[in-house]
Amino acid sequence: MTFTGNTFSVQKNKMAATGSEVNSVSYSKPKPKTAVNGLCAFEDLAEIAPDTSAFSIGALPFAMMAKLRPLLVEATKQRMDAEECGYMFQYGALRGDHVFVQALAKFLSEGYQDPVDSDDIVCTCGATSGLMMLTCTMFKSGDYVFVEDPTYFIALKIFRDDLGLNVIPVPTDKEGVNIEALEKVILEHQDKLGETNEKRPYRAMFYTIPVFNNPLTISLPPDRCTALIKVLRKYNIVAICDDVYNMINFDSKPPPKRLFSYDNKSDSDYRGNVVSNGTFSKIVAPGMRLGWLEAPETVMAKVIFSSLLASGGGVNQYTSAIIGTALQNGILSSYIADTIDTLKRKMELLCNALDKYAKPYVKYQKPKGGYFVWVELPSNCDGQAFQTYCLKNHKVSVRCGSCFSPSQSFKNFIRLSFSFVEEEKLEEGIQNMATALQNFLK
């Protein structure tokens, strides 16, 4: 059978030694179909022109992930050899594969350098899946979500376009979200938040990226974390934390504590107001489509007994089984450590290049973790127009700051990702961007 165009062809070949038939499947590269603001979307990564510096892409490069193949082959073999009744092929436990949940708790405890209880974990298909799962099981169209300004631009689209929530921006400063401003906007909308009931345990949501924020790159300091917990409890609001960059820590010290650990179960006024939403996309590979929620009992009950899991059982059962075995046996340890070291090295290269070629025109704070550098351009520079100009005329893609803002602020900012561009091309790419900026400002 042969399909032309963007699909695949299948041919049956005879094996010379046995005479049996095997299917040979070859895939042709898909043509680019979609783009976001003129930039390649994730499904088009293989089609990015070799001479384009893709500082807009928050993903690991192909060369780095190619190292995974023998590791996952080994993990798969070990799990397959351990299987007796085909458990990993079944619908699976609601919270996830038993090996995965236990191994993940241990892995996170070591990575966070802070205890993680396996009873608080449920498997997801990644951070976006986790965010959708949480929002759809606890809120409905017309409910309110408070968000940092700026914040992750796809989350804004999910809340507004897909789920019909009212998105309320909260100001940030050099240390992260302004807690006093958050309380003020909560009070301004308090009469519209509605009351809680068995189906709706929280009055509203606060979406936040408290550790190595995207796009700001900063982490919320301990005093603000403590103050935030008090506000969440006072107004019965649940914080959904995108904890996707926490382990990508460039400091020799422990990484910043996740907000979940500040919501102490032993406190007399504990209600369970924080959920940690994690993923392997940023530290292993996005194609795994594997993540987790670390959640309080109230949220766990809503998610586990949702129709989604009642119908399909634990999500991503097969992949979680393989990764669980890989974590349990330390198969991925060196790969993850090497990934973090490489990202730190690339961050240094990008920042050095900014200082070398663009210093008169930009301001930025050197990140201590994550994927990004948040860059302030001259006040008269339109980031969105520069984004278009830079790609068209100098083959450098960036993300304009306004796309991260629910209030369309930060117009003279851009976000640069050092994760996807190969090390040897980082300096050249920033040099080209600096040339583009000089020409654009003339």
pLDDT at 122: 96
Residue 218 scores a pLDDT above 80: yes
Q: How confident is the model at residue 373 (pLDDT cuts 50, 70, 90)?
A: very high
What's the whole-model pTM score?
A: 0.90
How far, in Å, are 121, 143, 301, 308, 397 from residue 200 at the CA level?
21, 11, 12, 17, 42
| Token reading at 68 | 């995974």
Residue 11 scores a pLDDT above 60: no
Q: Comparing 39 with 212, which gets the higher pLDDT?
A: 212
pLDDT at 14: 38
Contact by Cβ (8 Å): 145, 159:
yes
pLDDT at 42: 56
Residue 1 scores a pLDDT above 60: no
d(Cα 54, Cα 397) in Å, to the nearest integer?
5
pLDDT at 40: 47
Model pLDDT for residues 47-70, shown as the tens digit of each residue: 566 788 999 999 999 999 999 999
* CATH (one of 3.90.850.10, 3.40.470.10, 3.10.20.600, 3.90.1150.10) for 36-64+334-441: 3.90.1150.10
Cβ-proximal residues to 298 (8 Å cutoff; 6+ apart), any chain: 201, 271, 272
pLDDT at 12: 39
d(Cα 338, Cα 333) in Å, to the nearest integer?
9
Fold of 75-328: Aspartate Aminotransferase; domain 2 (3.40.640)
Residue 307 scores a pLDDT above 80: yes
For the chain, the distance separating the N- and C-terminal CA atoms, rounded to the nearest angstrom, is 57
pLDDT at 311: 80
Q: How confident is the model at residue 25 (pLDDT cuts 50, 70, 90)?
A: very low
Percent of the residues in the chain that have a pLDDT greater than 70, as a whole number: 89
d(Cα 39, Cα 391) in Å, to the nearest integer?
8
* Domain ranges, ordered by start, for the chain: 1-31, 36-64+334-441, 75-328
Residue 289 scores a pLDDT above 90: yes
d(Cα 366, Cα 351) in Å, to the nearest integer?
7
pLDDT at 308: 81
Model pLDDT for residues 166-199, shown as the tens digit of each residue: 999 999 999 999 999 999 999 999 999 988 888 8
Q: Average per-residue pLDDT in the chain? A: 90
Residue 120 scores a pLDDT above 70: yes
Residue 71 scores a pLDDT above 80: yes
Q: Worst-scoring range by mean pLDDT, 94-103, 138-147, 190-199?
A: 190-199
d(Cα 109, Cα 123) in Å, to the nearest integer?
16
Q: How many residues does the chain have?
A: 442
pLDDT at 85: 74
pLDDT at 65: 94
pLDDT at 22: 41
Average pLDDT value for residue range 249-260? 94
Cβ-proximal residues to 307 (8 Å cutoff; 6+ apart), any chain: none
How far, in Å, are 93, 128, 293 from residue 297 at the CA level?
17, 21, 12
Model pLDDT for residues 314-351, shown as the tens digit of each residue: 889 999 999 999 999 999 999 999 999 999 999 999 99
pLDDT at 4: 38
Average pLDDT value for residue range 7-33? 42
Residue 437 scores a pLDDT above 60: yes
Average pLDDT value for residue range 129-153? 96
What letter represents residue 223's amino acid? D
**C-alpha torsion angle, residues 185, 187, 193, 197 (rounded to 10):** 130
